[in-house]
Amino acid sequence: DAGVTQSPTHLIKTRGQQVTLRCSPKSGHDTVSWYQQALGQGPQFIFQYYEEEERQRGNFPDRFSGHQFPNYSSELNVNALLLGDSALYLCASTWGTGVYEQYFGPGTRLTVT
Amino acid sequence: AQKVTQAQTEISVVEKEDVTLDCVYETRDTTYYLFWYKQPPSGELVFLIRRNSFDEQNEISGRYSWNFQKSTSSFNFTITASQVVDSAVYFCALSEGDKGSRLTFGEGTQLTVNP
């Protein structure tokens, strides 16, 4: 039973560029959430996708956008990268929109230079 | 607004010692859920426990135990007879009832267990 997978593992980008991160949820899960974790801090909620729609959004600018595909996989896009966007980006999956435990992927380490 | 505070940034113990990680939360909701996650050096968050606001019973799972006290808005985590493999960052998190599985995390506690 595959868990949550994310790609790529590491990524280095330059300020102003755009980046796309990918996530495949755990088998049987249909809800995907994205979190940003800066070094030494707790994860911060970016947004959540269910039934291919953004259901909830945290306090992140419009430069952060996402998408969910019919197979429940998801992408996180960040435009006009800033140095402050350097972080570990975590994807989590669960069932529906209730309060169940979320399963996290290993994350994508994004470095903006 | 919801908030989770983990006042202990780092804790260092010697193997076999007991250790308690503190978590204090703030919420205006009467229905909410509390979680603990473990983050080893690999980076992947591992789910440990979920507790809802209506269940104040303490829980024990092997060497792990959790003490939930609504009167002090605390949800503390104790590891008994710690082991080197327990070394990790531990996060407490809160989800308010109307926000589904959206989690608000604390800043985490780095636990180091020395042999």
Cα dist from B115 to B15, B70, B88, B111, whole Å: 5, 36, 15, 13
Q: Which residues of A touch B4 (CB under 8 A)?
A: 42
User: How would residue A1 be classed by pLDDT, with cut points 50, 70 and 90?
Assistant: low
pLDDT digits 0-9 by tens, A98-109: 777 889 999 999
Who among B43, B97, B101 is closest to A102 (CB)? B101
CA B114/CA B74 separation, integer angstroms: 27
Q: Which residues of B touch A90 (CB under 8 A)?
A: 43, 45
C-beta separation of A79 from A60 below 8 A: no
pLDDT digits 0-9 by tens, A81-98: 999 999 999 999 998 877
pLDDT digits 0-9 by tens, A33-82: 999 999 999 999 999 999 999 999 999 999 999 999 999 999 999 999 99
Q: Name the nearest CA neighbour of A99 among B106, B23, B97.
A: B97
Who among B35, B100, B103 is closest to A98 (CB)? B100
Task: Determine the average pLDDT of the residues in B6-35.
Answer: 96
Q: Give the pLDDT of residue B97.
A: 74
What distance lies between CA B16 and its chain's CA centroid? 20
Q: Give the pLDDT of residue B89.
A: 98
Task: Check CB contact under 8 Å for B37 and A41.
Answer: no
Coil, helix or strand for B99?
Answer: helix
pLDDT digits 0-9 by tens, B69-114: 999 999 999 999 999 999 999 999 999 877 677 899 999 999 999 9
Identify from B34, B35, B37, B102 which residue to disrupt to test chain A contact, counting A C-beta atoms within 10 A and taking the largest count: B102
Q: Give the pLDDT of residue A98.
A: 77
C-beta separation of B96 from B40 below 8 A: no
The token pair that represents A49 in the structure block: 């996708």
Task: Check CB contact under 8 Å for B43 and A88.
Answer: yes
Question: Does A6 touch chain B if contact means CB atoms closer than 8 Å?
Answer: no
Q: Give the pLDDT of residue A2.
A: 76
Give residues 70 to 109 of B whose Cβ lies within 8 Å of A.
91, 93, 95, 97, 99-108
* Residue tagged 């919801």 (tokens): B2
pLDDT digits 0-9 by tens, B19-30: 999 999 999 998
